[in-house]
């Protein structure tokens, strides 16, 4: 145990992770987890960013102008994709837990992916071309 370095621990963890057979639900679980952690980080950044309101009108408007730059718009789209997957899959989880969703959870997941891709494409139109 003492010679187990952080690197070998991490590679062992990855080995275990990749050797499990993934079914449809496993991928949904992995994506839900990654997007969830990303969104938690984002809400904190969002809270910090909006403290710009306390710095007065010019400072806040300059900050908003920065968020209109192409790189931030791309980030907004990426964020939209995370939000879209997490909320659609979250609705699926609620249906499985509270409704009769366990019988149709794979079909709902297909619906989540199709609707998600459509909505994220629509978002790209609104963000980049509108």
Partner 1 sequence: MRTYKFYGSRNTGAKYWYMQRISGIILVIVLIGHYVLMHATPDAGHTYRAVLERMHSPFWKGIDLTFVTLGLWHGLNGTWNVFRDYTLKPWLSNLIQILLILLGLTFWFIGLNTILKF
Contact residues toward partner 1 (CB under 8 A) are 33, 36-37, 39-40, 43-44, 47-48, 50-51, 53-54, 56-57, 60-61, 64, 67, 76, 80, 83, 87, 90-91, 93-94, 97-98, 123, 126-127, 130
Pairwise CA distance, residues 91 & 85, whole Å? 10
Q: Shortest Cβ distance from residue 28 to partner 1 (Å)?
A: 15
Q: Shortest Cβ distance from residue 39 to partner 1 (Å)?
A: 6
Burial of 28 (0-12, 13-18, 19+ CB in 10 A): buried
Cβ nearer to partner 1, comparing 31 with 87? 87
Residue 85 near residue 116 (C-beta atoms within 8 A):
yes
84 alpha-carbon distance from chain centroid: 7
């Amino acid at each position: 145990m003492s010679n187990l370095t952080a690197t070998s621990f991490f590679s062992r963890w990855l080995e275990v992770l990749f050797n499990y057979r993934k079914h449809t639900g496993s991928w949904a679980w992995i994506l839900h987890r990654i997007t969830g952690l990303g969104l938690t980080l984002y809400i904190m950044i969002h809270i910090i960013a909006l403290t710009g309101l306390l710095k007065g009108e010019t400072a806040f408007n300059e900050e908003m102008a920065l968020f209109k730059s192409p790189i931030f718009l791309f980030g907004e789209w990426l964020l939209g994709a995370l939000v879209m997957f997490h909320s659609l899959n979250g609705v699926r989880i609620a249906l499985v837990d509270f409704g009769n969703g366990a019988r149709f959870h794979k079909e709902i997941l297909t619906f989540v992916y199709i609707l998600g891709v459509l909505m994220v494409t629509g978002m790209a139109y609104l963000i980049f071309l509108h």
